[in-house]
Structure 1
Amino acid sequence: MGESLVEAVRQALLTVRDPVGGGNVVEAGLVQGLTARDGLVQFAIAVPRERAREMEPLRQAAERAAAGVPGVLSATVVLTAHRADPGPKPGGAGRAGPPAAGGHGHGHAPKAPAGQGAMLLPDVGKIVAVASGKGGVGKSTTAVNLAVALAAQGLRVGLLDADIYGPSLPQMLGAQEKPRTEGNTIIPLQRWGLKAMSIGFLVDAETPMIWRGPMVMGALEQMMGQVAWGALDIMVVDMPPGTGDAQLTMSQRVPLAGAVIVSTPQDVALLDARRGVRMFEKVNVPVLGVIENMSYYCCPKCGDRADIFGHGGARAEAAKMGVEFLGELPLKIDIRLLADAGTPIVAARPETEEAQAYRRIAARLWDKLQGAGATAPRFVVE
Structure 2
Amino acid sequence: MGAKTGFIYDESYFWHDTGNGALFLPPGGWIEADEHGESPKSKRRVKNLLERTGFIDELKVIKPRTATKEEIELNHDTSYIERVERLSNTTGGDAGDLALVGAGSYEIALLSAGGALTGIDAVMEGKVENVYALTRPPGHHAEREKGIGFCLFNNLAIAARYAREKYGLKRIMILDWDVHHGNGTENSFYDDPEILSISIHQEGNFPPNTGYSEKVGEGKGAGYNVNIPLPAGTGNAGYLYTLENVVVPIAEQFKPEIIIVAAGQDANVFDPLSHMLVTADGYGEMAKAVKSLAERLCEGRLVVCHEGGYSAAYVPFCTLRIIESLSGLQSKVTEDPFQGSTQGLPTNILADHQKEAVNRVIKVQSQFWNFEVVYK
Structures share fold, TM-score greater than 0.5: no
Output the TM-score relative to the length of structure 1. Answer: 0.28
Higher strand share: 1
